Structure 1
Amino acid sequence: MNTSLMRELTLLQTREFVRDRRYFYFALIFPLGMMGLFLGMALLFPGEPDPEFSLRGIVVPMAIFMALTSVGFMATAAPLAAMRSKGTLRLLGTTPVSRAQVILSHMPARLGLVLAQVAAMLAVGVAVGAAELSAVPALFGVSLLGLAMFGALGYLMGGLLATPDVAANVSTLVQLAALFLSGFVFPLDLLPDPAAQVLRYLPTTFFADLMATQLPGGEAVHPVWLSVTVVLATTAVCILLAVRTFRWDQGEAG
């Protein structure tokens, strides 16, 4: 692999990402804004401590979840689709740059943004008592696993979807589904049993299960080792599919 080429391509992709007001600022501001909103509610209306559920205790993991999915989906799939619709990817396809190099050079800026967000969220959470200091290493590790899986899925979508609007809409739907149908916000037991049984075995639910182990009174549905295995396996499959199905232009079959 040409390191000089990769360095220049990575710098180019990073500049384009930071300059992209639509997707960069959404991924930057939305999770932090939602964290501030729910943290403010938890601090203003603390209520009685509940060992089974605590709004303050769920704020940081939920904010991290939104940060991971915002960057993994909206800030990854839509910009890639925009590059395709503008013909940028088609131009890159005429150069020695490979599909894998395009994806790899696209990652560092997103990784840096998520790492900064997660670090800030954990620091604020510990400072205001919304997160235990002892849970910080585990939450950070789980966040890296989640970023790998959601990012890989985002690259898969971005490599296939034709326009940024379609990619943005699909990203929003997938993000909301991942948040509300993984048992992270609402217990799956509230759903009809057949639906709950199916949802329990989605990769996003396994990731939410890992996050749940860090919540006050949180209990994992699956063993931790199984959840980690499923998340890593899903990441590997999505990366392989993302590289194989990546399209340089809208008319390309694959």
Structure 2
Amino acid sequence: MSTVTRELIGLHRRELMRDKRYFWFALLFPLVMMSIFLVLSTLMPKVEGAPDFTGVAIPMALFLAVTSTALIVTSGSLATMRSKGVLRLMGTTPAGRGRLLATHMAVRVVMVVVQAVGLLAIAAMVAGLEVSAIPALLGITLLGMAMFGGIGYLIGGRMNSPDAASNFSVLIQMLGLFLSGLAFPFQLMPEGVVKVLSLLPTSFFANLMLTQITGAKPYHPAWLSIVVMVATALAAAYAAVVTFKWDQGEGR
């Protein structure tokens, strides 16, 4: 690893942790939500027909970890750097624009991996998650990071206001969560609504995680979810590249 790359990684790490409002939200919110659903699952009476929140607590936590980092703390950060002229300035240095964005994403990938390992370890200890499913869930998490990361760079690459970029990302995160079959299982929705919502990329991400949860009822086969997520990731990455604004005054 070159000195420039190492310094850029350190820069992005400090920048990520400096905005405590979004950093701590992205770090702790998935753990808090998983804990709430696991507690609810233990409090529910063990009778036939009673809802079991254990099956959705783990994929929901991973969903929130991925989207919080890939969307909120990515798009807002890019908008901030553009508004302050950092993106334009870095393009004139030996670091280069490509290496700036590559190290920017690398820090966020590391954060999500650390989160996912911690969440899955807790789930294996207290929620009965099968250890054999952990590698697959880590791979799915990285695939989700690629898909949502492209969307995060698409948002942050166009919007000039850090708050607007972050708030728009939160909106996408919450809509994705509630329309993906995690917060509200598809089994509780009308079939016509399910057929529409199941076609959203976020639903394929949730569905792919459910294929690794014992007792869960995924809507699509795993291979189809992978194909859709890869295609969405490539499309989002391409759109982010061709529409990215390095300077706040750029018209395109």
TM-score by length of 2: 0.90
Mean CA deviation greater in 113-122 or 193-202: 193-202
Separation in 2 of the partners of 1:94 and 1:86?
A: 15
Q: Which runs of 5+ in 1 are unaligned?
A: none
Q: Which of 74, 84, 87 is equivalent to 2:85?
A: 87
Aligned pair in 2 of structure 1 residues 193, 162: CA closer, same or farther (>3 Å)?
A: farther
- Is 1:72 the counterpart of 2:70 in the alignment? yes
Shift of 1:249: 2.2
CA RMSD of aligned residues (A): 2.3
Q: CA offsets per residue over residues 97-124 of structure 1, 9 Å max, x none?
A: 5443222110122111111111111111
- The answer to whether the 8 A contact 1:53-1:217 is kept is no
Q: Identify the residue that residue 34 of structure 1 maps to in structure 2.
A: 33
Q: Identify the residue that residue 204 of structure 2 maps to in structure 1.
A: 206
- The answer to whether the 8 A contact 1:156-1:245 is kept is yes
Q: Identify the residue that residue 8 of structure 1 maps to in structure 2.
A: 7
1:105 maps to amino acid: T
Shift of 1:196: 3.5
Separation in 2 of the partners of 1:122 and 1:59?
A: 11
Separation in 2 of the partners of 1:210 and 1:51?
A: 25
Q: Identify the residue that residue 143 of structure 1 maps to in structure 2.
A: 141
Mean CA deviation greater in 45-54 or 129-138: 45-54
Q: Identify the residue that residue 100 of structure 1 maps to in structure 2.
A: 98
Aligned pair in 2 of structure 1 residues 72, 236: CA closer, same or farther (>3 Å)?
A: same
Query: Aligned with 2:220: secondary structure?
Result: coil
1:210 maps to amino acid: L
Q: Identify the residue that residue 222 of structure 2 maps to in structure 1.
A: 224
Separation in 2 of the partners of 1:60 and 1:87?
A: 40
Separation in 2 of the partners of 1:229 and 1:69?
A: 19
Q: Identify the residue that residue 25 of structure 1 maps to in structure 2.
A: 24
Separation in 2 of the partners of 1:49 and 1:110?
A: 42
Separation in 1 of the partners of 2:193 and 2:86?
A: 42
Separation in 1 of the partners of 2:98 and 2:235?
A: 14
2:28 maps to amino acid: I
Query: Aligned with 1:160: secondary structure?
Result: coil
Query: Aligned with 1:95: secondary structure?
Result: coil
Separation in 2 of the partners of 1:46 and 1:190?
A: 18
Q: CA offsets per residue over residues 124-158 of structure 1, 9 Å max, x none?
A: 11111342223222222211111111112111111
- Is 1:153 the counterpart of 2:140 in the alignment? no
Q: Identify the residue that residue 240 of structure 1 maps to in structure 2.
A: 238
Q: Which runs of 5+ in 2 are unaligned?
A: none
After TM superposition, the structure 1 = structure 2 runs for residues 128-207 of structure 1, keeping only pairs within 5 Å, are: 128-188=126-186, 191=189, 195-207=193-205
- Superposed structure 1 runs of 4+ greater than 6 Å apart: none
Separation in 2 of the partners of 1:19 and 1:196?
A: 41
Separation in 1 of the partners of 2:5 and 2:242?
A: 20
- The answer to whether the 8 A contact 1:99-1:246 is kept is no
1:102 maps to amino acid: L
Q: Identify the residue that residue 56 of structure 2 maps to in structure 1.
A: 58
Mean CA deviation greater in 147-156 or 167-176: 147-156
Aligned pair in 2 of structure 1 residues 52, 36: CA closer, same or farther (>3 Å)?
A: closer
1:5 maps to amino acid: V
Separation in 1 of the partners of 2:218 and 2:140?
A: 14
Count of residue pairs the alignment pairs up? 252
- Is 1:127 the counterpart of 2:111 in the alignment? no
Shift of 1:186: 1.7
2:150 maps to amino acid: A
Aligned pair in 2 of structure 1 residues 92, 236: CA closer, same or farther (>3 Å)?
A: same
